[in-house]
Amino acid sequence: MEDPANHDPWRQWFHQHGPRLLLCARLWTRSVADAEDVVQEAFVRFWRHQRQLGGEPQALLITSIRRVAVDLGRREDRRAAREQQAEEVSGRMEPLFETPVEDRERVLLVEAALRGLPPEQREVLVLKIWGELTFEQIAGQLAVSPNTAASRYRYALAALRRDLTPICHG
Residue ranges per structural domain of the chain: 1-94, 96-170
160 to 22, 24, 57, 93: CA distances (angstroms): 22, 18, 30, 20
pLDDT digits (tens, 9 = 90+) for 37-72: 999 999 888 888 777 776 777 888 888 898 898 888
Report the candidate in 130, 73, 134, 120 with the shortest Cα–Cα distance to residue 96.
Answer: 130
**What's residue 81's pLDDT?**
63
On the CB side of 92, CA atoms within 13 Å amount to: 5
Do 39 and 18 contact (CB within 8 A), yes or no? yes
CA distance 169 to 74: 43
pLDDT digits (tens, 9 = 90+) for 89-110: 555 555 565 655 556 777 788 8
CA distance 11 to 7: 6
Domain pair 1-94 / 96-170, same fold: no
pLDDT digits (tens, 9 = 90+) for 133-146: 899 999 988 889 99
User: pLDDT > 90: what percent of the chain?
Assistant: 21
The secondary structure of residue 51, as a DSSP letter, is: T
Q: How confident is the model at residue 4 (pLDDT cuts 50, 70, 90)?
A: very low
Do 28 and 65 contact (CB within 8 A), yes or no? yes
Over residues 26-31, mean pLDDT: 86
Which architecture, in CATH terms, is 96-170?
A: Orthogonal Bundle (1.10)
Which architecture, in CATH terms, is 1-94?
A: Orthogonal Bundle (1.10)
